[in-house]
């Protein structure tokens, strides 16, 4: 007689359960790593955005002061980034000679932390008298978005403009 003695299996076998567990584990791991990658990319985008805003703000403020060398060097009694009350810390200034033009330039370094992102800001301009002064602001942050020191190999945003010497008190 057909159908007698045959039994239909109900439920899942042990092998099917193992395969389903492995598939779900792999999918969950992929989703978690994708979420982590998304968070990291969002933090990097935030660092780019903040560094661009800070650099643009400094350029406009510096340009409004006629590109004064005293602004970059944070000389007391003159407008400078320290007086903006944004948390800038003056680190150092260095003088360099451009090999092509043989002109001296000054580079002044500041540090700033915004939203837990440490940044190193370098203000630079050539020394000497000129009617149109090129101003450059370079903002760097650590690639890991951590509290470790910012290095020269870390990503940077470089912004530049020109200021007339008679634009302000410069």
- Tens of pLDDT, residues 114-126: 888 899 999 999 9
The pLDDT value given to residue 50: 93
From 149, 95, 87, 83, select the one nearest 124 (Cα to Cα): 95
The pLDDT value given to residue 131: 84
Extract the tokens encoding 135: 């101003």
- Is residue 5 over pLDDT 70? no
For the segment 119-161, what is each residue's pLDDT rounded down to a tens digit? 999 999 998 888 889 999 999 988 776 667 888 888 899 999 9
**Residue whose structure tokens are 């780019």:** 48
Q: Phi/psi of residue 102, each to 5°? A: 60, 25
Domain spans, the chain:
21-164
Global confidence as pTM: 0.76
| Angle, CA of 15, 20 and 24, to the nearest 5° | 150
**Residue whose structure tokens are 């092998």:** 15
For the segment 53-107, what is each residue's pLDDT rounded down to a tens digit? 999 999 999 998 888 888 888 787 788 898 888 999 999 999 988 788 788 999 9
- Is residue 108 over pLDDT 50? yes
166 or 97, higher pLDDT: 97
The pLDDT value given to residue 170: 44
From 165, 96, 164, select the one nearest 126 (Cα to Cα): 96
């Amino acid at each position: 007689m057909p159908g007698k003695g045959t039994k239909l299996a109900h439920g899942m076998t042990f092998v099917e359960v193992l395969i389903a567990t492995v598939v779900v584990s792999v999918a969950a791991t992929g989703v978690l790593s994708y979420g982590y990658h998304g968070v990291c990319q969002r933090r990097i985008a935030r660092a780019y955005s903040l560094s661009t805003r800070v650099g643009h703000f400094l350029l406009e403020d510096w340009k409004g002061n006629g590109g004064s060398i005293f602004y970059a060097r944070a000389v007391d009694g003159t407008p400078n980034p320290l007086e903006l009350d944004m948390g800038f810390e003056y680190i150092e200034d260095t003088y360099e000679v451009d090999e092509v033009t043989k002109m001296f330039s000054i580079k002044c370094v500041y540090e700033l932390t915004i939203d837990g992102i440490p940044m190193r800001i370098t203000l630079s301009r050539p020394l000497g008298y000129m009617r149109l002064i090129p101003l450059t602001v370079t903002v760097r942050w650590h690639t890991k978005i951590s509290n470790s020191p910012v290095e020269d190999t870390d990503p940077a945003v470089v912004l530049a403009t020109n200021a007339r010497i008679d634009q302000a008190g410069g």
